[in-house]
Amino acid sequence: MKKLKIADGIHMLTMNVKDILFEGIWKIANGVTLNSYIVQGEKTAIIDGVIGWDGVPETLYRNLEEIGVEPQNIDYLIVNHMEPDHSGWISNFRKIKDDFKIVCTDKAARILASFYGEDKIKIVKEGDTLDLGKGKILSFHPVPNVHWPDTMYTYEKGTKTLFSCDMFGAFGRMGEHCFDDELTPEEIDFFEVEGIRYFSNVMATFTPSLKKAVEKAKTMEINIIAPGHGPVYRKNPQKIIDDYVRFSQYADGAGKNEVTILWGSMYGMTAKAVDCVEKILQREGVKYNKLEMPLESESTMVASVFKSAGIIIAAPTYEYKLFPPVAAALNELGRKKITGKAAFRLGSFGWSGGAEKELHEIMERNRMNWDFVESVEFEGAPKEEDLNKVEAGVLKLLEKMKEKIVE
């Protein structure tokens, strides 16, 4: 756990976590940071206190002491969001200090009661304030369904700091550099990639709510954005706001000038057509990400499709339906409400078709509204005329995706 000063009377404690499945699902290749913030006036508040997945609150207490905060002197615990990555230490904290007050939205209060039996809670609404003394005044601004329904922003007026919780966060462990002005160009790229992974894996389902949260942030005067995960933005907070606007567009079908090939093959027939697709993309100078299912993690698959303007689905018929690992991937993308992508499907069949029918069922059931060029199916191995049709399909896709590109 690392301790950093954000401003006078405001500190961050940040902890890197790796080798976990985030939410019990997402295999996050580069881990994640968990950030807590301490605001000290005459009273002391901790925002989104975290203990990490080691489940050792003593680590948090020791670090608080090292920045001059006795855990026993914490008056308020601000729960911006009840999910246990931000609140999992509450019951333990009650054991060493019983009279602190939790500050949260009404929805968080209900979840806190059901998870931890908490009832010493001050419920806040839009614009409510908490004066900690010495000029530190916190105000609270619900942003429901920025992940869970209970989420709120906390804003510190004197320093114009927005404690944004999951909003404006990113996966990826932080090294020595935790502020935007310290990041190297490589680290900036890293956190952009990890921001996309985070948004697509965890938040994309709630994109309409995230757009509202962006609008709310735009109404605030902000000098610092201090999220629950990832770097703190103090030089250019507008950068992460703009990134989140762009990520919201990716959820609605826009993407970078790149193609994701989402593919699977039983006995190598569809794979022959994928080889042909790769050669065409190389010839056309288009960046592509080739993801073989089920070998690729869902985290990487969702992030890659999410950020790409064009998607090529290469999958055969399997037992009268779409090759199951690719069908499962598409269902997950549907659950994440990744809509409006420009797409092209190709695939082999043996004794009967059926993949195409299931593809359209998945699209309709999840209201994905992907914009397909005509599919190419072939019996057994692709013949020359099939590969010619594949080439035509790829070129049409590249044309179609041009209007979707947002870098």
Which of 118, 156, 166, 377 contacts ligand FEO by CB under 6 A? 166
Q: If you count them, how many residues does the chain have?
A: 407
Taking the CA atoms of 23, 26, 27 and 30 in sequence, report the sign of the dihedral they define: negative
To the nearest whole angstrom, how small is the minimum distance from the Cβ of residue 300 to ligand FEO?
A: 20
| DSSP H helix total and E strand total for the chain | 12, 21
Query: Taking Cα atoms as reference points, which of 380, 385, 392, 388 lies closest to residue 271?
Result: 380
Per DSSP, 368 falls in state -
**85, 258, 358, 377: residue in contact with ligand FEO (rule CB under 6 A):** 85
152 close to 80: Cβ distance less than 8 angstroms? yes
Residue whose CB is less far from ligand FEO, 84 or 158: 84
Position 215: which residue type? Answer: E
Q: Does 83 bind ligand FEO (CB under 6 A)?
A: yes
Q: Segment near ligand FEO (CB under 6 A), from 80-88, 217-225, 236-244, 362-370?
A: 80-88
Distance from C-alpha of 101 to C-alpha of 44, rounded to nearest angstrom: 11
Which region, judged by CB under 6 A, interacts with ligand FEO, from 79-87, 101-109, 183-191, 329-337? 79-87
Instruction: Please say which residue, 164 or 308, places its beta carbon nearer to ligand FEO.
Output: 164
Longest dimension (CA), the chain: 78
Q: Does 228 interact with ligand FEO (rule: CB under 6 A)?
A: yes
Our finding on whether 81 is near ligand FEO (CB under 6 A) is yes
Q: Which is nearer to ligand FEO, 83 or 358 (CB)?
A: 83
The smaller minimum CB distance to ligand FEO, of residues 116 and 356, is found at: 116
Contact track, ligand FEO, 185-224, x by CB under 6 A? ----------------------------------------
Size of the site for ligand FEO (CB under 6 A): 9
For tokens 């990890």, the residue is 194
Query: Does 147 sit near ligand FEO (CB under 6 A)?
Result: yes
Q: 346 Cβ partners below 8 Å, 6+ apart?
A: 270, 273, 277, 312, 313, 314, 375, 376, 377, 378, 390, 393
Residues interacting with ligand FEO, by CB under 6 A?
A: 81, 83, 85-86, 147-148, 166, 228-229
